[in-house]
Amino acid sequence: MKQVVTLLFFVICTVFLASAANNNNINEKSDIIIENNQFKLVVGRNAIAKSLVLKSNNEECLMKGEHIAIFSVTQERPYHNEIKLAHPNKKTTFQADTIYREGDKLIVGFELIPYQAIIQIKETPAYVGFSLYGFITDGIYPDYLKITPPPATEVTILQLPIRDRKNFGEWLNVSWDHKAAVNVLGTDEYAFIDFEKRNGYKILKAGARKDIKFKGTGAALIVSDPDNLLDHIAQVEEDFNLPKGVESRRSDFINASYYWTANVNPNNVDQHIKYAKMGGFRLMNIYYPSFEGGGGYSNIGNYEINKSLYPNGKADLEKMLDKIKAAGIIPGVHFLHSHIGRNSRYVTPIPDYRLNIVRSFNLSENLGMHDTTIFVEQNPEGSTMADRCRVLKVGTELISYENFTTVPPYQFTGCVRGIDNTTVNGLAKGNVIGILDVSEFGATSIYINQQTTLQDEIAEKIANIYDAGFQFFYFDGSEGVNPPFGINVALAQYKVFKRLNPQPLFAEGAAKSHFSWHILSGGNAFDVFRPEVLKKEVRKWPAEEAPRMRQDFTRINFGWLGYFVPDETTIGTQPDMLEYVTSVAAAWDCPISIHSNIAAFEAHPRTLDNMEVMRRWEEVRAKKWLTEEQKKELQNLDQEHHLLINEKGEFELVPYEQITHVAGDSKEVRAFIFKKNSEYYVIYWHATGNRKLKLPVKSSKLTLYRSIGENELITQSPENYSILPVGDMRYIKFNRLNKKDLLDIFAKAEIID
């Protein structure tokens, strides 16, 4: 009997295991397999991603066990009657719960939502594309429900829980290390690309918004060896006719610094060329007032060449740019592309209807020609109260307000009519008015509504000036768009960029969103910091951003640098300051940029030295002289370095430190100590002029150089003091003196006439 029971148990177990194995085979066969030469993505029939493997090394890229659906739909509220009754009426995201494949299309169902989405996939050797093809909605909603299906505000066309790796580029949306790179990349300007942080992983996601564009919006999934990632992105750019962000990042000029000018014109271009070449600059960035004239932000939008400076208009501009090119310098242009000046014809005498409105109101009473209180139906609670930004667009006029009420009757009070020389009008009750989207930067310009044709119109004007011979571009004021910023920041840039002919060698911008990666190959520049805080601010801002942007396979600009003449308020721009900025920038393969000022160049006693510092580092960049070991050394922000030219006429990188106590803590002389061939050297100069330095040491202990190897005469006084000139940058070699004695000598030094 015992044997029979044992045999029966064995048979049952065998049948059970065979059944389980058979079920497993069925489950495996029912999985959705999406793959290319690089990777294999496995998705269960429940729309949960099971695996994402890089084929070259079998590296698993998913955070398994998180049960995150690969697709989802967001509604502002339920629209199907029974769902509306059964569930709260609020914004809700519904996850995909079923999926099957028909050829190159995935048919996706969602929890509770009665319709299906169709996601088209494109499997290529470099990437797999996902795009929203359409919806299946026939027969879903009753005839009496008069809606245009599908009722949805957003569709997530791809989301994957990707394990954290050493690097994450938040701009490019890529997670990578030496083993693998995973990138969810928009394939058009309308895709909303984002990520969500989780414990040990990030959800990389791509979505389409109904108010922007639904059908056709897409993204690419790239999983590859990190060394090949840019090649695959380049293929996406080629296939989808995107700006060539990879190509521009590989340009010889991507790390070239530029000379920035706001006032170059045919009358002074030779002077600007002289100083640009003195600083070794290969690029010159020209701010639009150089050819449009004065007025600053307030005149943006007219885009007319100033005939007083350029009598023949564009022809004179072309001639000037040709002269810059003939000097071996590439010209670029700097525009505020999304701003409209408050003095421009788009604002006065009648404001354009395509200017952006941040809030709209209906008049609750007629508005007369002289009324200074405006009554509205909606509560103005939360409206802007920033100075000069309190502006209403009311028909043909702009009206400023002093305040508003937040209890009925709602009203804007203390109104001033017809500001900015606009046309006063009266409006009847019920008309729509709105708060104008005035720029927070000085309130002298207004933002464009990116859902109108105004940005395209401005883009045409900009492109017409660009083709005079400019070759790179700065998109200033890029943050000046209406929401959604994740789309509109890049969309405004792209409307300009795609009209530029030829495509810029590279571009920079003041703000970025995901699609901007293809456009802003050079990242951003920083605003000017004063000399007294320059090194500190460099450590705080560009030096912090540069390694993060490296994770996006991108560089930034460590400028803009101002040029300050020493006076009673500032020590002015000094060689060590420029050397610190440009050396740290070079550590991350980044350039700098300097705001030119011919009057300041001519007035500053150390301009030759300042320019020489920049010239040396630009030559280093152009020749790719720095080794990876040297770059690593320069990334130490607490250690300053000097690039000297040694006895052989070759570059030599030496760490140096400032001598903080010179001549009784005088601020006149700046001195730095370094060691070379077992001997101590000091590089020194006068910050504001030319005097003499009296050192308590015999001249036999010193060797003075204008540059290393070029000796200068040292005068010795009867008291065994050495008297040295202190003006332009010089070097002192101290023969067999230790550091302590050297520092003591400088502390006891005297500055004499």
Instruction: Reduce the DSSP state of residue 241 to 3 states and report it.
Output: coil
- Tell me the average pLDDT across 201-210: 97
In terms of pLDDT, which residue wins out, 83 or 539?
A: 539
pTM: 0.92
Q: pLDDT of 510-525, one tens digit each?
A: 999 999 999 999 888 9
Q: Which of 23-37, 312-326, 520-534, 642-656 has the lowest mean pLDDT?
A: 23-37
- Tell me the average pLDDT across 581-599: 97
Calculate the alpha carbon distances from 151 to 63, 214, 661 in Å: 32, 12, 72
- Tell me the average pLDDT across 485-506: 96
Q: Decide if 751 contacts 726 (C-beta within 8 A).
A: yes
Dihedral (Cα; 148, 151, 154, 158), 10-degree rounding: -100
Q: What is the mean pLDDT of the chain?
A: 93
* Cα radius of gyration (the chain): 33
Q: pLDDT of 383-392, one tens digit each?
A: 999 999 999 9
Location of structure tokens 């489950």: 27
Q: How far is C-alpha 197 from the geometric centre of its chain's CA atoms?
A: 21
Q: What is the pLDDT of residue 295?
A: 65
Q: Kindly provide the b/e burial profile for residues 165-186, where b requires at least 16 CB atoms within 10 angstroms of the residue's own CB.
A: bebbbebbbbbbeeebbbbbbb
- Tell me the average pLDDT across 205-227: 97
- Tell me the average pLDDT across 400-422: 98
Strand ranges (E), 389-442: 391-394, 397-400, 403-404, 411-413, 416-419, 432-436
Instruction: Reduce the DSSP state of residue 456 to 3 states and report it.
Output: helix
Q: Which of 319, 287, 289, 323 is nearest to 306 (CA)?
A: 289
Helix locations, 194-268, DSSP H: 229-239, 245-249
Location of structure tokens 């010889």: 252
Q: pLDDT of 424-469, one tens digit each?
A: 999 999 999 999 999 998 999 999 999 999 999 999 999 999 999 9
Peptide bond just before 517 cis, omega within 30 deg: no
Query: Looking at the predicted structure, is the pLDDT value of residue 3 above 50?
Result: no
Token pair in block for residue 144: 């009496």
Token pair in block for residue 707: 């540059």
Could you give the angle at which helices 269-278 and 607-623 cross, rounded to 10 degrees? 70
Q: pLDDT of 299-351, one tens digit each?
A: 888 888 999 999 999 999 999 999 999 999 999 999 999 999 999 999 999 99
Residue 425, number of CB atoms within 10 A of its CB: 14
Q: What is the rounded distance in angstroms from the CA atom of residue 66 to the CA atom of residue 68?
A: 6
Q: What is the pLDDT of residue 29?
A: 61
Q: What is the pLDDT of residue 6?
A: 41
pLDDT category, 22, cuts 50, 70, 90?
Answer: very low
- Tell me the average pLDDT across 622-643: 98
Query: Looking at the predicted structure, is the pLDDT value of residue 1 above 60?
Result: no
Q: What is the rounded distance in angstroms from the CA atom of residue 751 to the CA atom of residue 440?
A: 48
